[in-house]
Structure 1
Amino acid sequence: MATMDFLSDSVSLTVTALAVVLAILVFKAISTKTSSQRGTKKRYHPIAGTIFNQLLNFHRLHHYMTDLAIKYGTYRLLSPFRNEVYTADPVNVEYMLKTNFANFGKGLHNYEILSDLLGDGIFTVDGEKWRHQRKVSSYEFSAKVLRDYSSVVFRRNAVRLAKMLSDSAASNQIFDIQDLFMKSTLDSIFKVGFGVELDSMGGSSEGTKFAQAFDDSSALTLWRYVDIFWKIKKFLNIGKEATLKKNIKVIDNFMYKLIRSKIEQKQNSDNDTSLKKDDILSRFLELNETDPQYLRDIILNFLVAGRDTTATTLSWFLYMLCKHPRVQEKVAQEVMEATRAKDASSYDEIAAHLNDEALDKMQYLHAALSETLRLYPAVAVDAKICFSDDTLPDGYSVNKGDMVVYQPYAMGRMKFIWGEDAEVFRPERWLNEDGLFRPESSSKFTAFQVIF
């Protein structure tokens, strides 16, 4: 009987909470409409639903939001705490990311959601912290020594991956290609970032445990965007929030252990100039950055930027090549010619010829990769917070505190941007009459954000 009473109370509480939330949403919709009718001269984008619709469509979220973008262009979803504006219009995107960049940032909302995992990294902060990290990172990542070092690391792991795939194919084994891409990229990022051989491709238990915790934490953090009760769950340490906390502990233990080891290594080798210090962590230590929390956040954000984006793009690229044999043949032929490879050439020989000159000749490969990113961008949506009342170039208003989201995934499927064949995989759209790669505006093709 007590159990039945408890269940009854729980159901009543849930129903009451939902009723309150729905009442808030209705009130917000009415107040926005009333405010427009009172002659405030503000126009707001059409309401396409609520965040509960996102929750119900979470299993097909990007398709759902693309459907709304096709129907409305730019639209609003009501939330109990703020308006959420979603746009797939290049003029709005350029305004947010370039023209009025200072008025759109991560804000407190995004920081609260992301900071448990990413700390005060470049993906979570605004203002001086963001500028400092961008300045330091841009300088370090543009250094020739780091570019040369990372090229060697990625080529070496690419050869190792190619050999593993070749062996599996020869023995008719089934394998998960995305998992292998994730492991290969993770190994490369850790070598470039920490100077550490993680060897997740080789089955390292420590590397596998970290990678799993990181993947689970990323998914659970994303879930917070559609779960309005996540803060309560975090406070009570229940459900997905309890799982997230455990996974972040695994990540932190692993990261801090590596950082401590690297600091000790630096202290013991300061007088040994023969030791190479090409990895990113070593280069930050050379700048006397020794706060473990800061270093953890820097490297983890670098990991997010480099690992998932590269691995998912490669996965979709290979998938599209499998679906389009004609494109596959053209890419393979171009790579063979650019690297002067023969049928009998080894993977090491091909990799040795992967220099800037060879890459410049791979115009069709560049086009095929860009076409993959157009349809399957590594970052499907990106959210900003509006810092002060504003009017977007389409003439509609956004208010201080509104979340404004641009949608690269939906934009790649908009016919008004890419033509009637927007949903067709066609690398040739990126080539000019001479077969040379032709870049598109970065506000139209947002895979790498708008270029200043």
Structure 2
Amino acid sequence: MEAARESLAVTLSIAVAAAVAVFLSLWGRRWWRRRSFYKYPPTIGSVLGLVLRYHRLYDHLTEISRRHKTFRVLVGLHRYEIYTCDPAVVEHILSSKFHLYGKGSHNRDKMGDLFGEGIFVADGSKWLHQRKLSSQQFSARFLKDYSSKVFKKNAAKLAEVISCTATSGEMFDVQVAFGVKLDCMQGSDEEEREFVRAFDESSALLLWRYLNPLWRLQRLLNVGSEAKLRKNIDIVDGYIYKMINMRTSTGLNKIKQGEDILSRFLLEREENPREMSLKYLRDIILNFVIAGKDSTGGTLSWFFFMLCSHPSVQEKIYREVQVLVGKAESLEDFTMGITEAALSEMNYLRAALSETLRLYPAVPLDTKMCFADDRFPNGFDMRKGDGISYQPYAMGRMTYLWGDDAEEFRPERWLDEAGVFRHESPYKFTAFQAGPRICLGKDFAYRQMMIFAAVLVRFFVFELGEKGKAVFYKPMLTLHIDGGLGLRASRRQRLHPD
């Protein structure tokens, strides 16, 4: 009997020991896997370091990126923000594993007060709905038959305004000129300027939210930067809703005749009022209007800064335009001469614009949220809930992507041996995103900028209003020149001979 009990005790002991061994083995494997097999990018500090260098945030991130293609910053007790300049990682998050990365609750929380449920912060069905609805607006036919006419008309108007400053010799702010004149909305110049000012200030305050741990408390108490943001958003809302009411009051027939993006969204609301509330309509319209303004107006401002800093580039563009458009002396004849064929052959102008976007992308930093644990192509692991930002501003300055002269403005890098424009991978040149979320308005933006640049460079020579004055960006969600850019224009006396 005792032998049986001893045998049972031994058996139980062995079973318990085996169970403990299995438990320890499983726990040990999990612990060892976490310690040995999870590989995270190097941590270079906390968000405090970014706060202390906020005034030059994008350059600070560029300096770190020269040492680490991918790195992370501690932004909470257990949360990291990953930054990358690695094209393979960019392709991974924007294309290969698109379903695992999106704007997410983290970005909507910080940007939703201004952008609502618009395409800038939308994911899933709402993002897809807005993208499908707007895709027709950027078709080749629309660009050719409608947009180019509008671009030429607006470019001519701006040229007339600059002509007045050329006569008087006074300085003008090119960033203000492009910011308002490229806006597709209707209203007085003063209303437009106040709208643009309020939006731009809101953009700067939203960027600050990403680094300010107290922003939610400030919003609750309506104090400090959050009180200022609320006032600016009220101005933005008032302008957008007024514009919607003005267009709606013209009647459905006139809306149907309209070919702009606002008319398309108004018709969608008329047909599906339950799916598109007035607030959702406001969100959609604001997002698309701002996308156009910042991608064209902001880039053209930096473009003319580059032309003034590199007069030889300005003259090369002038000569190319002269050859392709012809010797039209009047503004009207010249704009009519900007044909599809002429635009398609303006290789150097397109190269100069692309070089500007390489160094001064409209969106210098684009943040996504990881929806599930993942591993990057470079072997680093990503945790669910962490943010991943690819850096168009920093990527444009990486020598391992663009060569030793990466920080030089050299349009020729975009041309092949025959002088024809050469496209770069969108995962290397990330100014327009890539993958399923690639910017729908890319061709729209290039066309608009090329027409404006061709008209203005043909009739004027531009130089900096205050030579030697340093030019910096203002920390915002989009890349704007801090304090604007003062230029002086002088009329070209005659066309260059053939």
Summarize deviations over 1:114-160 as a string: whole Å, max 9, x none.
Answer: 11101100111111111111111112332734653332222211111
- Check whether the contact 2:358–2:429 (CA below 8 A) recurs between aligned residues: yes
Q: CA deviation at 1:408?
A: 0.6
Q: Which one-letter code corresponds to 1:336 in the other structure?
A: Q
C-alpha spacing 1:38/1:150, structure 2 compared with 1 (3 Å): closer
For the pair 1:295 / 2:271, whether they are aligned, the reply is no
- Check whether the contact 1:289–1:295 (CA below 8 A) recurs between aligned residues: no
How far apart in 1 are the matches of 2:263 and 2:212?
Answer: 39
Supply the RMSD in Å over aligned alpha carbons: 1.9
Aligned to 2:97: 100
C-alpha spacing 1:36/1:293, structure 2 compared with 1 (3 Å): farther
C-alpha spacing 1:38/1:136, structure 2 compared with 1 (3 Å): closer
Aligned to 2:455: none
Deviates more, 1:136-145 or 1:348-357: 136-145
Q: Which one-letter code corresponds to 1:116 in the other structure?
A: D
Give the one of 229, 236, 239 matched to 2:214.
229
How far apart in 1 are the matches of 2:431 and 2:333?
Answer: 32
Give the one of 246, 254, 278 matched to 2:239.
254
Aligned to 2:139: 142
Alignment of 1:17-416 (within 5 A): 39-80=35-76, 82-142=79-139, 144-145=141-142, 148-186=145-183, 189-190=184-185, 196=186, 198-199=187-188, 204-267=189-252, 270=253, 276-287=257-268, 288-290=271-273, 291-342=277-328, 345-416=329-400
The answer for unaligned runs of 5 or more in structure 2 is 1-29, 437-498
C-alpha spacing 1:38/1:156, structure 2 compared with 1 (3 Å): closer
Q: Which one-letter code corresponds to 1:276 in the other structure?
A: Q
For normalisation by structure 1, the TM-score amounts to 0.85
Q: CA deviation at 1:348?
A: 2.0
Summarize deviations over 1:383-439 as a string: whole Å, max 9, x none.
Answer: 000000001111001100010000011101111111111111111111111110110
Say which SS state the counterpart of residue 49 (structure 1) adopts.
strand
Say which SS state the counterpart of residue 39 (structure 1) adopts.
helix
- Check whether the contact 1:381–1:407 (CA below 8 A) recurs between aligned residues: yes
Q: Which one-letter code corresponds to 1:350 in the other structure?
A: F
Say which SS state the counterpart of residue 372 (structure 2) adopts.
coil
Q: Which one-letter code corresponds to 2:315 in the other structure?
A: E
The answer for unaligned runs of 5 or more in structure 1 is 1-33, 191-195
How far apart in 2 are the matches of 1:304 and 1:114?
Answer: 14
Q: Which one-letter code corresponds to 1:325 in the other structure?
A: P
How far apart in 1 are the matches of 2:266 and 2:144?
Answer: 18
Q: CA deviation at 1:297?
A: 0.8
Say which SS state the counterpart of residue 162 (structure 1) adopts.
helix
How far apart in 2 are the matches of 1:300 and 1:38?
Answer: 45
Q: CA deviation at 1:208?
A: 2.2
Say which SS state the counterpart of residue 341 (structure 1) adopts.
coil
How far apart in 1 are the matches of 2:286 and 2:143?
Answer: 18
Q: CA deviation at 1:37?
A: 8.4
Aligned identity (percent) is 47
Q: Which one-letter code corresponds to 2:365 in the other structure?
A: V
How far apart in 1 are the matches of 2:108 and 2:374?
Answer: 22
Q: CA deviation at 1:265?
A: 2.1
Aligned to 2:444: none
Deviates more, 1:89-98 or 1:134-143: 134-143
Summarize deviations over 1:95-128 as a string: whole Å, max 9, x none.
Answer: 1101111111000010011111011001111111
For normalisation by structure 2, the TM-score amounts to 0.77
